[in-house]
Amino acid sequence: MRSLQEEPQADTRPGAAPPDDRGGIVDIVSPTSKRHQGQEKVVEFVLGGELYAIDLFDVREIVPFSKINSMPNVPTYIRGVISLRREITTIIDIRQILNVSKDQSVLEEKMRFIVLDERMTKKKMGILVDRVLNVSTVTKDEIDTKSTEMRRDNTYAKGIINRKVKIDGKDADQIIIWIDMRRIIQDIEKEI
């Protein structure tokens, strides 16, 4: 399996869009983006040394880390707020919600905010991740939903993406946990 300390290889599959050289994917959901039958578009990212993904259509943009201002008397998973183009955006520490350990080797200033689509969140909101890898198209054959169905009541996993990749010229399996951001947002809204 690929070491997550190395820079990711560009995803050359059709529909993949690597992050830009400024460290963010800006306005990644364009008016021409659309769902294709039998395929899902996801944003892949790293948390605590593991690979995760969320639906591309739940994402507005990806931006570099900036200072997070703490908020008093909020749940611990709310990291605080940032000013994003003079708009206050609440930042969720998805690590705490998913119970993922922090990777101590990741510098905070290298982290990214995945800003979520306001049509889903009803307010300006983003999640803090260690690193964004790319946007990719996943086929239904690469998605296992049966493994997460038996624990549906207490997990935020929508499915497990299991695909073949080439690492150092050899075939390898790559496992990515596909997160249900809509369910997470629903649970956050019930709590706050």
Encode pLDDT of 103-123 as tens digits.
989 999 899 999 999 999 999
Name the pLDDT band for 153 (thresholds 50, 70, 90).
low
Confidence of residue 160 (pLDDT cuts 50, 70, 90): very high
| 3-class DSSP state of 56 | helix
Confidence class of residue 155 from pLDDT cuts 50, 70 and 90?
confident
**What pLDDT, on a 0 to 100 scale, did the predictor assign at position 165?**
83
Token duo for residue 43: 């944003």
For residues 162 and 144, the answer to whether their CB atoms sit within 8 Å is yes
Q: Which amino acid is at 115?
A: V
| pLDDT greater than 50 at residue 67 | yes
H helix intervals, 22-137: 94-98, 118-121
> In whole angstroms, what is the distance from residue 126 CA to residue 89 CA?
7
Q: Tokens standing for 144? A: 């296992």
Give backbone dihedrals phi and psi of 185, rounded to 5 degrees, phi first: -65, -40
Q: Domains in the chain and their CATH numbers?
A: 39-191 (2.40.50.180)
Model-level pTM greater than 0.95? Answer: no
Nearest CA-CA partner of 97 in 192, 172, 8, 7 = 192
What's the pLDDT at 149?
A: 67
Q: How far is CA 159 from the centre of its chain?
A: 14
Bridge-based pairing of strands 170-179 and 50-55 is parallel
> pLDDT at residue 1 above 50?
no
pLDDT of 154 over the 50 cut: yes
77 pLDDT above the threshold of 80: yes
Is the pLDDT at 80 greater than 60? The verdict is yes
The lowest-confidence range among 2-11, 26-35, 120-129, 178-187 is: 2-11
* Assigned token pair, 116: 């979520």
Asked whether the beta carbons of 64 and 55 are under 8 A apart, the reply is: no
pLDDT of residue 18: 45
Reduced to 3 states (helix: H, G, I; strand: E, B; else coil), residue 64 is strand
Of the CA atoms within 13 Å of residue 186, those in its CB half-sphere come to: 5
Rg, C-alpha atoms of the chain: 16
From the list 159, 172, 140, 171, the residue with the least C-alpha distance to 52 is 159
